[in-house]
Amino acid sequence: ATPLFYKMAVDEPYMLDAPTLAERDQQTKRAEAITNASPMRLRMEKFIKEQQVEIVRALEAIDGTKFRVDEWQRKEGGGGITCVLQEGKVFEKAGAGISAVYGTLPKAAILKMRANHKNLVNGANEIPESIEFFAAGLSLICHPRNPMAPTIHLNYRYFETANPDGSSGAWWFGGGSDLTPNYLFEEDAILFHKSLKDTCDAHNKEFYPKFKKWCDEYFYNKHRRESRGIGGIFFDDLDETTADKESLFAFIQESLKSFVPTYTTIMNKRKDMPFTEKEKEWQQIRRGRYVEFNLVHDRGTAFGLNTPGPRVESILMSMPLTATWKYMYEPEPGSREEKLEKVLREPKEWV
């Protein structure tokens, strides 16, 4: 292939009989407003975009510093917006990113995913060589300056595949939110868990206990034999076997919307508390453990970094601004630092 032929192949791709999922969605977005009758892909994308604006506005109000906003496109289809506030007055680093991407799942991935999603190939007799997919999500992380204020993380996402005839194939929601304090304030832990439990309970009484346990199991820093933080909720693969799409979307929406009031309440109490140098040091050690979890155990990070052509800066916006590793650091017996470690070693029921 000569360079000329290569250029032609890139600029004028061979068109399949049917337009791709990305092309059809682009067409819909140009032609009409997104309503409750639109495909869930576009509704989810619209929702997380709006929420990103809300969240950025709320965090800017707490900090008094503006976020930097980067829009990016993915060569393979779709793109995202990464908003980061760095070295603010209240936050060392806060990041809120959304992405909505299109792609194709190779056969190996289809075979793996089919274990959890029976209708992934929609009753076809043969596994196809590839399936088109759409994935959209919002990720958020806040690392405050004050060691009394907790780090928070959340992620809500939607995944959908396309059938060969262009109709929607399998779909599911995933997500969750977890809190990582350096010092334990029981009232914060209770407020955080209660807010998540209330949202869960309004949809399904089984959600909170199940998702709380899932969260404790997922955010576990195995090599340290301790949890990353005091948990929250975590779930994946929520599809029609759990509830209908509308109900699950409502659940996702309310879960995500509960972030701003809850975290604002906690931050208002903690952001200006006095602290010592030793407490700041402990925060930095806990940040090191956060880095360890994200780089060693987090499947989302590993998946992101191993994707072809990843936007590394968006994936690693979860890294704290600074972190410390001290050899053989041991909290003093009876100290507040030791009290936190105990809670991390044995997850508690907070509500």
Closer to its own copies by CB, 84 or 120: give it: 84
278 is an interface residue for its own copies by CB under 8 A: no
Helix (H) or strand (E) holding 163: none
Q: How far from each other are the two terminal CA atoms of the chain, in whole angstroms?
A: 64
Closer to its own copies by CB, 68 or 339: give it: 68
Spatial distance between the Cα atoms of 56 and 95, rounded to a whole number of angstroms: 9
Closer to its own copies by CB, 163 or 310: give it: 310
Q: Which stretch binds its own copies (CB under 8 A): 121-129, 190-198, 238-246, 291-299?
A: 291-299
Q: How many residues bind its own copies, per CB under 8 A?
A: 33
| Interface residue with its own copies, options 57, 89, 107, 223 (CB under 8 A) | 223
DSSP one-letter code for 13: P
288 is an interface residue for its own copies by CB under 8 A: yes
Find the shortest distance in angstroms from Cβ 337 to its own copies.
Answer: 17
Closer to its own copies by CB, 161 or 227: give it: 227
Find the shortest distance in angstroms from Cβ 308 to its own copies.
Answer: 11
Spatial distance between the Cα atoms of 176 and 106, rounded to a whole number of angstroms: 27
| Interface residue with its own copies, options 42, 48, 84, 120 (CB under 8 A) | 84
Spatial distance between the Cα atoms of 259 and 141, rounded to a whole number of angstroms: 11
Q: Which of 117, 153, 193, 203 is catalytic?
A: 153
For residues 322-341, which are near its own copies according to CB under 8 A? 322-328
CB atoms within 10 A of CB 70: 15
CB atoms within 10 A of CB 148: 19
Backbone angle region of 328, left / alpha / beta, with phi > 0 → left and psi within -120 to 50 → alpha? left
79 is an interface residue for its own copies by CB under 8 A: no
320 is an interface residue for its own copies by CB under 8 A: yes
Find the shortest distance in angstroms from Cβ 5 to its own copies.
Answer: 26
Spatial distance between the Cα atoms of 189 and 266, rounded to a whole number of angstroms: 9
190 is an interface residue for its own copies by CB under 8 A: no
Find the shortest distance in angstroms from Cβ 265 to its own copies.
Answer: 27
313 is an interface residue for its own copies by CB under 8 A: yes
CB 14 within 8 A of CB 5: no
142 is an interface residue for its own copies by CB under 8 A: no
118 is an interface residue for its own copies by CB under 8 A: no
204 is an interface residue for its own copies by CB under 8 A: no
Residue 83: helix, strand or coil by DSSP?
Answer: strand
Closer to its own copies by CB, 28 or 86: give it: 86
Spatial distance between the Cα atoms of 12 and 7, rounded to a whole number of angstroms: 8
54 is an interface residue for its own copies by CB under 8 A: no
Q: Is 223 a catalytic residue?
A: no
| Interface residue with its own copies, options 61, 124, 273, 321 (CB under 8 A) | 321
Helix (H) or strand (E) holding 263: helix 259-270
CB 140 within 8 A of CB 176: no
- The dihedral built from the CA positions of residue 277, 330, 289 and 230, taken in this order, carries a sign that is negative
Closer to its own copies by CB, 116 or 322: give it: 322
Crossing angle for the helix pair 259-270 and 40-63, nearest 10 degrees?
A: 20
Spatial distance between the Cα atoms of 158 and 135, rounded to a whole number of angstroms: 6
Q: Which is it for strands 232-238 and 226-227: parallel, antiparallel or unpaired?
A: unpaired
Kindly list the residues in this chain that would bind its own copies in the complex (CB under 8 A).
68, 70, 84, 86, 93, 95, 222-224, 284, 288, 291-292, 295-296, 302, 305-306, 310, 312-313, 316-317, 319-328
Catalytic residues: 153
